Structure 1
Amino acid sequence: MTFSALLILAFGMSMDAFAVAIGKGAALQRPQLREALRTGLIFGVIETLTPLVGWSLGQFATHFVARWDHWIAFTLLCFLGGRMLIEGCRQQPVTAAPCEPVKQHGLGLLVTTAIATSLDAMAIGVSLAFMQVNIVLTALLIGLSTFTMTTIGMLIGRLIGPLLGKRAELLGGAVLIAIGAQILWTHFA
């Protein structure tokens, strides 16, 4: 595989994380560059590790991983997206004190979302186990691309978040569910 093909692969692998990051950035109260970099780092590290895990699994258990990866990704993304939709629809009680705006997503939520969006990279890693590819270079390119695209996505979300208001969480949940559905569609098409 040529270096330019690896770059295209890395860019393609980072697009779902980019879409999710836009929703995550929009759901936060004006996220700072530090939060965008933190989110990009979490997504980038996980997206670097998953092709390596997939490549390792490809050495031993190709049929099992390939048979279930799309269902795992779909379930995780629908769960997280559904949770965001429920939170976006939940009404504040009139007597409640105003909530402190959310300035940072929890580590657990970011890691779970990053894993869900990187399962396709694991599947790519499985398929790369049967090709003459430098898996470490490939994984690093995928991780770097994901870090960059996620950070940019968070900053774009920061710009559109104030325009969307409470609907930003609804948009983010819908994006997660749509990505899960797209993973299933691609698998069965």
Structure 2
Amino acid sequence: MSGYIGEFTALLFLSLALGLDAFSVSLGLGMQRLRLKRIALIGIVVGQFHVIMPFIGIILGRIISEQIGHLTTLAGGLLLIGIGAQIMFSAFNHQAKKIIQPIGGGLILLAFGLSIDSFSVGLSLGISGVKTIVALLLFGIISSILCWVGLLLGRKVRGFLGVYSELLGGSILIGFGFQLLFG
């Protein structure tokens, strides 16, 4: 029985660690003008990707080695840097339309970038043979909750920062992208 509790506790902490990136990026993203309906949808999609990506990683982890994990981290970091740079550029150029918004394809790209580290974790979990359903449910639920908290906090902070909120939000995305690449 203590083995199950230990494994659950480890998965819970791993879920929190994976969800913290969704929280920090959502904090920056929440500084944009987002409606509550959009915030709810973003959290759901990010949570779904935090289930799908590690599931794919678990399947592939049982088939291939861990060497692909470095490429996924590189792709996720570059994607977040690109989104952050675009947000900052649009803050300086008020006439520029935002290329990537958390709507449709932009939301899919954002959720993919946030969950790419979950894929790498899934690779290692697939090799270790962890309880797949429990891990995936925890990853999805925790990341959705942390994403919603970050978006709502960012929305509140936006009122205090005004015009500079987009610059701060973009810099948070860029900083997290660099942290993924070099951290």
What are the superposed Cα offsets for residues 134-156 of structure 1, whole Å, 9 maximum, x if unpaired? 12210110110011111111111
Residue 171 of structure 1 pairs with residue 174 of structure 2:
no
What is the rounded CA distance, in whole Å, between the counterparts of 1:62 and 1:116 in structure 2?
Answer: 22
Identify the residue that residue 132 of structure 2 maps to in structure 1: 135
Q: How does 1:60-79 map to 2 (within 5 A)?
A: 60-79=63-82
2:32 aligned to 27, 45, 49, which one? 27
1:42 aligned to 40, 45, 52, which one? 45
TM-aligned CA deviation for residue 42 of structure 1: 0.8
Residue 59 of structure 1 pairs with residue 59 of structure 2:
no
Runs of 4+ in 1 over 6 A off after TM superposition: none
State percent identity of aligned pairs.
29
TM-score (ref. length: structure 1): 0.85
What is the rounded CA distance, in whole Å, between the counterparts of 2:154 and 2:62 in structure 1?
Answer: 39
Contact 1:23 1:175 in 2 (8 A): yes
What is the rounded CA distance, in whole Å, between the counterparts of 2:43 and 2:19 in structure 1?
Answer: 11
Q: Which runs of 5+ in 1 are unaligned?
A: 94-98
Identify the residue that residue 106 of structure 1 maps to in structure 2: 103
TM-aligned CA deviation for residue 64 of structure 1: 4.4
1:115 aligned to 112, 116, 119, which one? 112
Q: Which runs of 5+ in 2 are unaligned?
A: 1-5
Identify the residue that residue 122 of structure 2 maps to in structure 1: 125
What is the rounded CA distance, in whole Å, between the counterparts of 1:149 and 1:107 in structure 2?
Answer: 21
Contact 2:46 2:147 in 1 (8 A): yes
TM-aligned CA deviation for residue 175 of structure 1: 1.1
What is the rounded CA distance, in whole Å, between the counterparts of 2:24 and 2:114 in structure 1?
Answer: 10
Identify the residue that residue 3 of structure 2 maps to in structure 1: none
One-letter amino acid matched to 2:144: F
Identify the residue that residue 159 of structure 1 maps to in structure 2: 156
SS at match of 1:182: helix
**Which stretch has the larger CA shift, 162-171 or 18-27?**
162-171
What is the rounded CA distance, in whole Å, between the counterparts of 2:113 and 2:179 in structure 1?
Answer: 13
